[in-house]
Amino acid sequence: MPSAESSNRLRSALVVRRRALGTGVDQDDIGLCHALLRANSGQQTPLPISHVGYDDLVEGVFMWAKRLWLFFRYARWLLWLATIGYSIEFLFHRQEHFNVFGQLLLTTEFWMFSLPFAAVFAVCLELMMRERAGITRSADHKVGLDR
């Protein structure tokens, strides 16, 4: 059985490694845990995953997914607000958005079509991250994190 000190050193090493790589927990991390713990304790068989602080590492991955889900959720609403704001600006300053031939300027056309498209794309990414983070709808159809 590994000592508490070696387990803490192992967890610290994994956190540093994960931050340096900018990735989540993968099979290489788990294999590294097994190898380091075997070297520290003299065992030749793989240890159960509970010895390597796997729950702590997985919780960190889910927290990362929840934060990314919140980012996409806020981005979606900001993009829709930007779409509405640009449409209102277009209504009030219509002449500034047309050229001498009565055609829409390319910048106006770009913003009128790209803002809603980006909002819909953010919705798709939000749904993907909600699934990955394990966030489910409750019985009263409340979606989100507990406050």
Kindly report, residue by residue over 81-115, the tens digit of the pLDDT: 999 999 999 999 999 999 999 999 999 999 999 99
Decide: residue 45, CB within 10 A, 0-12 exposed, 13-18 middle, 19+ buried.
exposed
| Average pLDDT over the chain, rounded to an integer | 74
Confidence of residue 47 (pLDDT cuts 50, 70, 90): very low
CA distances from 21 to 14, 16, 17, 24, 133 (A): 10, 9, 6, 9, 21
Domain map (residue ranges) of the chain: 4-52, 63-133
pLDDT at 40: 54
For residue 37, pLDDT over 90 is answered with no
The SS3 call for residue 137 is coil
